[in-house]
Amino acid sequence: MIFLYADDNRGDQLLVQEALGEAGVACDLRFVSDGEELLDYLYQLGKYNQETAPRPDIILLDLNMPRKTGIEALLDIKSNPFFWGIPIIVMTSSNAETDVVRAYEAGATAYTHKPTTFPRLVRMMEAFGRWWETVQLPHVANDCFARSQFVPTEEDLERSRMLRRMQAPSPESVHRRTVQ
């Protein structure tokens, strides 16, 4: 199982790595440090290719990252049907209701607050491991990925560029939509 963790805080990355080990969750944990790098990994651009960037089984996503926020990356990822089958769990320090709403509207599978103690983080990683053992995901996307190399088309790249220019909805507009 490949976990891809997008977080700019190296300390948080190391804590998650240690917590997964402590929880006994067997996985290949990969790290990216911002939303741009996350998209490069998924689209296998720049330093990433099929060997260095295998398709993740799950993405853990922080919201507050430089260059491209978690919400912006989430919108971009969920705009491409090729990535729809990848569960994305937002794991962030924000408790703001607007962030929770925006994350789910953008296509997050789940939203959770980063635990404040290591034992709680271990319990969370144990829960992720148990969830992963019981969840059923569509095989179509995974089978498609396994049978062929993913080479982004010019249309994929243009859509990515367009989404990068767009901004995520403002908290005020999200609030208005949820209240109505």
76 vs 26, 107, 159, CA distance in Å? 29, 10, 8
Q: What CA–CA distance (Å, rounded) separates 80 from 108?
A: 14
pLDDT of residue 141: 44
Q: pLDDT band at 146, cuts 50/70/90?
A: very low
Query: Mean pLDDT, the chain, as a whole number?
Result: 78
Could you please report the per-residue DSSP string of 36-90? Answer: HHHHHHHHT-TT--TTTSPPPSEEEE-S--SSS-HHHHHHHHHTSGGGTTS-EEE
Q: What CA–CA distance (Å, rounded) separates 85 from 137?
A: 7
For the whole model, what pTM was predicted?
0.73
Q: pLDDT band at 130, cuts 50/70/90?
A: confident
Q: pLDDT band at 178, cuts 50/70/90?
A: very low
Query: Over 80: is that where the pLDDT of 139 sits?
Result: no
Q: What CA–CA distance (Å, rounded) separates 35 from 86?
A: 16
pLDDT of residue 172: 46
Domains and CATH numbers, the chain: 2-179 (3.40.50.2300)
